[in-house]
Amino acid sequence: MSVWMMMLACVGLALDDFILMMGKGATLKDLTAEKTMTYAGIFGLVNMSAALVGYLISSLFENILMIKLNATLCALIFLLLGLLFVHKAVTRKSIEERLDLSFNRKQCAKIAAITNITTLFYGVGNGLMNTSLLLLMLCAFATCFVAVLSALRIGYSYGYRFARGIQGVGGALLLLMAVNVWFVFLR
Amino acid sequence: MEKKNNTKVILAESLRSLMQKMSFQSITIKKICDEAGVVRVTFYNYFVDKYDALDYLVQSDLADGIQVHSADPVRVLIEHLASMMMNHRRFYEVAVDIEGQNGFREIFIVQMKEALQKILQVHRKRNPEHADLSDAYLAETYAVMVFYFARTWLRTSGSTEQNFIRNALKMIHSSFYDFIDA
C-alpha cells in the first residue's frame, strides 16, 4: 500500500472525528488555543494507539493466513468501514446546539476511544498487508490531530455544518481504498 | 451592565426576526448571531441554546402585563397578552408549533403560571371549600387553558384582539357547567 493511499484512508477515518468534534466545538463557550491543541492531541494519541493495537492484533493471524487471504480480509475491512460511513452520512441528524460546560479532557478521551474503534479495524487491515507500522502511526496521529483541531475551530466559529457531505467523503475514501486493495493485490 | 443587557435583547430580538422568516428548526446560533451582528461565541454568554432565548422573549413580552396591584390584574394580563400576540403575530404563529421537551407550550405555560400565581398570592379569596386547591395547581390549570386558547386564536385567520380579550375572559370567568345542560 502506498503512502498516499494510507494517508487518504487515514483522512477518510479522521473525517468521522472531524464531524463529531465540529459538533462539540459548536457547543463550547471558551475554546482557547490551548484547549484546542489539547483536545486535538488527545484524539491524535488515541487514534494512533488504536491503529497500533489493530496492527498488533493482525500479527496473531499473519502466520496462519496466506497473503491473498490477508488482502481479501483487508479489502473487506475497508469496504465495511466505507459502507458504515456512508450509512452514517445518510442517516445523520443535525445536533441541537446547546452550551456544554462539562466537556473536559476526560470526556474528550472517552469520546476519542469510542469513535476510533474504526481505526483499530483499519490497523488490522494494514497489519494484514504488512504496511509500515511507524508510517501508519504517524499518519493516524497527524490526520486525526489536524482534523480535530480544524473541526473544533470551525464548529466554535460557524456551528455544525455540512456534516452529511463530509461523512460521505470519508466513506467514499474508504471505499476507494477497498477498491485499491482489490486491484493491486487480488485481481 | 447596560451594554450586556442590550446585547441579550438584541440576540433575542434577532431570534424573533428570524422566526418570522424561517422555521425554528432551521435557525442556528450562527444565524442568530449574524442577524444580531455579533460573533457566534457571544450567544453563549447570554443563553444556553435557542430555546433559552425563546424563553427569554416570552418572559420579556409578558413582564409588562403582570400588574398584581391593579384593580383587575387578570384583565390587565389578558389584554396585554392579546396585544403582544397581535403585535408579534407571525412570531407567535411559528412559536406555537415548536414541539418537544423544550417546546413553546412548556415555556408559555411556565411563564403564564408564574404570572397567575403572583396574582393569586395577592388576590386569592380565602374559601375553606377550595383549601385543597393550591395556588400553584390553580395557576397551572388556568395557564394551560390560556395556552390552548391562544393557540386556537393564532391558528384562526381574521381573529381580532377584541375577540381574544372577550373570549379569554369569558373562559376564565366560566365553569364547565356554564356550557352544559346538567
Residues of B whose CB is below 8 A from A97: 28-29, 49-50
Contact B146, B81 (CB under 8 A): yes
Nearest to B49 among A97, A157, A160 (CB): A97
Instruction: Give pLDDT, residue A65.
Output: 58
**pLDDT tens sequence across A20-55:** 999 999 999 999 999 999 999 999 999 999 999 999
Instruction: Give pLDDT, residue A64.
Output: 62
Predicted-assembly ipTM surpassing the 0.90 threshold: no
Domain residue ranges in chain B:
1-47, 49-178
Residues of B whose CB is below 8 A from A98: 48-49
Q: How far is CA A122 from CA A17, A115, A179, B70, in A?
A: 15, 13, 15, 72
Residues of A whose CB is below 8 A from B40: 156-159
Nearest to B44 among A96, A99, A157 (CB): A99
Query: pLDDT band at B1, cuts 50/70/90?
Result: low
Instruction: Give pLDDT, residue A63.
Output: 62
Instruction: Give the CATH superfamily of B1-47.
Output: Homeodomain-like (1.10.10.60)
- Contacts across the A-B interface (CB distance below 8 Å): 29
B156 touches chain A (CB under 8 A): no
Q: Residue A181's CB: how many other CB atoms inside 10 A?
A: 26
Which residues 16-45 of B have a C-beta within 8 angstroms of A? 28-30, 39-41, 44-45
Q: Give which of B107, B139, B109, B108 is closest to B121, Cα–Cα.
A: B139
pTM (predicted TM-score): 0.83
| Residue linked to cell 365553569 | B175
The torsion angle over the Cα atoms of residues A106, A108, A113 and A119, rounded to 10 degrees, is -150
Secondary structure (3-state) at B182: coil
**pLDDT tens sequence across A141-172:** 999 999 999 999 999 999 887 777 888 888 88
Mind giving me the DSSP string for A98-142? ---S---HHHHHHHHHHHTHHHHHHHHHHHHTT--HHHHHHHHHH
Mind giving me the DSSP string for A27-95? T-S---HHHHHHHHHHHHHHHHHHHHHHHHHHTTTTTTS-HHHHHHHHHHHHHHHHHHHHHHHHH--PP
Minimum Cα–Cα distance from B49: chain A residue: A98
